[in-house]
Amino acid sequence: MSDEPRALLKLDGFEGPMDLLLDLARGQRVDLARISILDLVEQYLAVVDQALRVRLELAADWLVMAAWLAWLKSRLLAPAPEGAAEPEAVEVAEALAARLDALEHVQRAARWLGARPQLGQEVFPRGCPEDLVEMDRSGLAADLPQLVRAYMAAVRRGSSGQAYVPPSPRLWTVAEATARLTRMLGGPLGRTLGAGWVALERFLPHVAGDPAQRRAALASTLLAGLELARSGHADLRQDAPFGPVLVRSVLVQGGQDGP
């Protein structure tokens, strides 16, 4: 009974039934080519049996191996009659021994590899490699076929029906500013203001973000204000240099009080 915990403990450390078999074979302390398969089978079945007594669940592959080994044991003890369809038990045992031999080789190879100085473990490469390559980007990757294809693509797009119109930035003209200023001073805004002074900026049209368009609108509106002042339709005033320019309607004062 004292064997039980040890057997279970061992089972957990194995990478599967073959690993256990190989360990048991090594325990026989003989050349792998000369191990007693029968002894090995007995030992494996004993370990699995002990493991099952302690805990019921055991991965299927352990049980499959146990069943197969039990079959092998029975055949080794009582060979099938000559000419039976089943493979010779001795041949099966030899195949098992060969598999154990292959596994033994792999485990030794793994240990051999593991014992070598490994890069990044025991030996290290240059930590900050130096780049001795320089890219020369001066050349141009372009050939005649590309040029011709580009020309064809350009011409096709150019003649694809949409007439090309060079875009001209929409700038607020003096005429437009004059019309707007006149209309607004005479309209509801002008009437609300009466004879009061209003900052000229309030008559600017709504212009989207473009600073050039904003400057153009400001300049046009100022010129429009000067034009109206010259013709006597409005008064302009600026109380300080760079201060706000104020405008006042003369039309309203002149008594044109709406319809």
Partner 1 sequence: MDPERLVEALVFASAEPVPAAAVARVLPGDVDADAVLVAVQARYAGRGVELVQVADGWQFRTAPDVAPLLLQVVPRPRRLPRAAMEALAVVAYHQPATRTEIEAVRGATLSQATMDALLEAGLIEPKGRRETPGRPTLWGTTDAFLAQFGLRSLRDLPRRDDLLVERQPTPLV
Task: State in angstroms the smallest separation of the CB of 52 from partner 1.
Answer: 20
Task: State in angstroms the smallest separation of the CB of 167 from partner 1.
Answer: 7
Task: State in angstroms the smallest separation of the CB of 193 from partner 1.
Answer: 44
Place of tokens 């473990």: 121
Place of tokens 């090594």: 26
CA distances from 197 to 10, 34, 194, 210, 226 (A): 101, 117, 9, 29, 15
Dihedral sign of CA atoms 179, 183, 186, 192 in order:
negative
Q: Which CB, 41 or 177, lies closer to partner 1? A: 41
Q: Which CB, 85 or 115, lies closer to partner 1? A: 115
Task: State in angstroms the smallest separation of the CB of 251 from partner 1.
Answer: 40
Q: Please check whether residue 186 is in contact with residue 233, taking contact to mean a CB–CB distance below 8 angstroms.
A: no
Q: Which CB, 153 or 199, lies closer to partner 1? A: 153
Dihedral sign of CA atoms 40, 41, 45, 48 in order:
positive
At 239, list the tokens.
């109380």
Q: Which CB, 51 or 245, lies closer to partner 1? A: 51
Q: Which residues 6+ apart lie within 8 Å of 85 measured at CB?
A: none
Task: State in angstroms the smallest separation of the CB of 58 from partner 1.
Answer: 15
At how many degrees (to 10) do helices 174-186 and 211-230 cross? 60
Q: Which CB, 99 or 202, lies closer to partner 1? A: 99
Residue 238: name the closest of 202, 210, 199 by CA. Answer: 199
Residue 248: name the closest of 257, 235, 238 by CA. Answer: 235
Q: Which CB, 141 or 240, lies closer to partner 1? A: 141
